[in-house]
Amino acid sequence: MVRIGILISGRGSNMIALAEAVRDERIPNATVAVVISDQPDAAGLERARNLGLQTLVIQRRGRSRHEHDREVIAALKERDVQLIRLAGYMRLLSPQFIQTFPNAILNIHPSLLPCFPGLDAQHQAIDHGVKWSGCTVHFVDETLDGGPIIAQRIVPVLDGDTEDSLAARILVEEHRLYAEAVALVVSGKYEVVGRRVINTSE
């Protein structure tokens, strides 16, 4: 059983989608060990509790990144977490955090990386005038949204799109893609060769 820890800061829709995928065994051999938020008022916390998940708030306020990360690491280790999933976690992880869980931290980003890393990816896509965008699940390394790509999915950018309408179209795909990518990583049927994540289950 792979024990997953999920870090959130906000609404937590990707966290819920993953928890449901685990519950429905679309991600076999996995369990959600804890949901940690750095924001005490994150809407996702209540949604997680409603699903019967253990939640924890570890506030960033008043702590340095180093101290905060140290507390989060300790909470994850106490619960034997092996795989960490960032789901709308609006904090950069310290190198110490990343080195503690090598190749075991996943993130989802609402663009086709390496296009439009960082904040407001949907806004960046509309501003640039691209005709297609999408989402990317990747391993987290010490670069911003730059670790090895596990899976991607595309969506069209329509002429009438606003940032919100594009974000909503991408979010539907995020929920599916993240569960599929986590299922692959939990299965262990992949290899990381340089920057490439090769699916060895096929």
CB 60 within 8 A of CB 8: no
Instruction: Select from 9, 53, 23, 61 the least CA-distant residue to 35.
Output: 53
Q: Which of 4, 5, 12, 105 binds ligand GRF (CB under 6 A)?
A: 12
Confirm or reject binding of residue 110 to ligand GRF (CB under 6 A).
yes
Residue with smaller CB distance to ligand GRF, 43 or 75 = 43
Per the residue annotation, which of 66, 68, 109, 175 is the catalytic one?
109
Confirm or reject binding of residue 181 to ligand GRF (CB under 6 A).
no
What are 182's two structure tokens?
């986590």
Stretch that binds ligand GRF, among 59-67, 72-80, 105-113, 155-163 (CB under 6 A): 105-113
- Residues contacting residue 183 through CB under 8 Å, at least 6 positions apart: 21, 26, 27, 28
CB 1 within 8 A of CB 162: no
CB of 24 to ligand GRF, least distance (A): 18
CB of 4 to ligand GRF, least distance (A): 15
Confirm or reject binding of residue 123 to ligand GRF (CB under 6 A).
no
Q: Which of 174, 181, 182, 186 binds ligand GRF (CB under 6 A)?
A: 174
Confirm or reject binding of residue 4 to ligand GRF (CB under 6 A).
no
Confirm or reject binding of residue 108 to ligand GRF (CB under 6 A).
yes
| Other CB atoms within 10 A of residue 45 CB | 22
CB of 12 to ligand GRF, least distance (A): 5
Stretch that binds ligand GRF, among 20-28, 94-102, 106-114, 149-157 (CB under 6 A): 106-114
What are 177's two structure tokens?
């893609």
Residue with smaller CB distance to ligand GRF, 81 or 171 = 171
Residue 109 designated active-site = yes
Cα gap 179→189, rounded to integer Å:
15
DSSP for residue 93: P
In 10-126, which ranges are E strands? Answer: 30-37, 55-57, 83-86, 105-109
Cα gap 123→125, rounded to integer Å:
5
Which uninterrupted H or E stretch holds 17?
helix 13-23
Catalytic residues: 109
Binding site for ligand GRF (CB under 6 A): 8, 10-14, 44, 87-88, 108-110, 171, 174
